[in-house]
Amino acid sequence: MVDQPSGAPVADERIQRQSGLRRAFVRPELGAMAGAVLVFVYFAIVAGGTGMFAADGIMNWGVVSAQFAIIAVGACLLMIAGEFDLSVGSMIGFAGIVIALLSVHMGWPMWASIIAAFIVAMLIGAANGYLVIKTGLPSFIVTLASLYILRGLTIYLSISTTRQTIIGGVREAAQGDWLAALFGGKVLGFVFSWLADMGWIATFQAGNRAGQPVVDGIPMLMIWAVALIIFAHVLLTRTRFGNWIYASGGDARAARYVGVPVDRVKIAMFVFSAFCATIFATCQVMEFGSAAADRGLLKEFEAIIAVVIGGALLTGGYGSVIGAALGALIFGVVQQGLFFAGVESSLFRVFLGVILLLAVILNTYIRRLITGER
């Protein structure tokens, strides 16, 4: 050990300060921030008068964005750790069917069904990770296999037990269940009642809910999304484990050499991805009151696109949770905004493809700025 120098460090006059602009430019979430602003400005102009930015309109795209955000957070940490999970969509369908089968078909209490679904899904996530680590195969291939295996199993399980691919009756089974309320309920209803009483948000004018506010609370889905974003952001930027996530994705061999448990980190991120997928599935099952074997189709790609728009590199080691959340917000706003603006909804996919391409090009450029590669 070298002896420590005495005295506090002094500022070095030879250090040239970088301009704030340039520093901001190499932040991963910058592109997503600019994109989000653009998207809001655009829809404020073309759909400003349609109620898109009234309370119920905001809730509309807010919920969709929150759905994207929940799976994007899982995909984000996993991608920064250098891996993909293509089985997220299948996992959503699978976890939903597991909950419905156990609770409705087998008569388990709802809380036990939910916990069981989480355990099974996270075990599958761990198995994905373990296979990737042990075989050394690209996670792309391993999780592509689980995409098919899980989807097939989900349909098989559902049909062989109930002869249907949709299992209803979940809402009835969830009545009064403490854990189900954590996923299906709404909170802060009184705030919205108060806001409506003050005349700040609209109320229904007719029908059996006349006089009630158009928004009667914040769905737990949104609470989960915000909680996951905060948790993942703090984990990534403020903890030792977060540094290990960056290191595992940046260069697994270099990380191993200094003692970072790369295998454990990667497997943990696969488990976290499965955890996020199961939260998504549970919220969806509670909202619809049913589970269907085809739920979650293509969600894995939407999650990955949101993460990439958020500035993460497909090669791992770089990215941000806030960016991924903004990517999810852009998604939700555009998907619902096109509806408000009366634009043909199939154009949403065109938009996705184009923005994905732009994001990847921008990210590659930023990567060069950071690393000084030519």
Binding site for other proteins (CB under 8 A): 1-2, 5, 9, 12, 14-18, 26, 234, 238-240, 242-244, 246-247, 250-251, 253-255, 257-260, 313, 317-318, 367, 370-373
Phi, psi of 312 (to 5 degrees): -75, 150
Q: Write out the E strands in 49-208.
A: 166-167, 186-187
Structure tokens at 137: 């195969």
The residue (of 192 and 272) whose beta carbon lies closer to other proteins is 272
Q: Please, which residues have CB within 8 angstroms of residue 141's CB and are 6 or more apart in sequence?
A: none
The residue (of 346 and 371) whose beta carbon lies closer to other proteins is 371
Shortest spacing between CB 272 and other proteins, in angstroms: 16
CB 217 within 8 Å of CB 196: no
Shortest spacing between CB 45 and other proteins, in angstroms: 38
Packing angle, helices 30-46 and 321-340, rounded to 10: 20
Shortest spacing between CB 255 and other proteins, in angstroms: 7
The residue (of 313 and 333) whose beta carbon lies closer to other proteins is 313
The residue (of 105 and 367) whose beta carbon lies closer to other proteins is 367
Q: 200 burial class (0-12, 13-18, 19+ CB within 10 angstroms)?
A: exposed
Shortest spacing between CB 269 and other proteins, in angstroms: 17
Shortest spacing between CB 38 and other proteins, in angstroms: 27
Shortest spacing between CB 241 and other proteins, in angstroms: 9
- Distance, in Å, from the CA atom of 74 to the CA atom of 92, rounded to the nearest integer, reads 13
The residue (of 171 and 367) whose beta carbon lies closer to other proteins is 367
Phi, psi of 166 (to 5 degrees): -120, 130
Closest by alpha carbon to 89, among 355, 281, 291, 287?
A: 281
Structure tokens at 252: 């697994």
Shortest spacing between CB 249 and other proteins, in angstroms: 9
The residue (of 15 and 206) whose beta carbon lies closer to other proteins is 15
Neighbouring CB atoms inside 10 A of 194's CB total 13
The residue (of 5 and 207) whose beta carbon lies closer to other proteins is 5
Amino acid at 226: V
Bridge partner residues of 213 (DSSP): 203
The residue (of 176 and 372) whose beta carbon lies closer to other proteins is 372
CB 310 within 8 Å of CB 76: yes
Closest by alpha carbon to 165, among 91, 97, 89?
A: 97
Shortest spacing between CB 236 and other proteins, in angstroms: 11
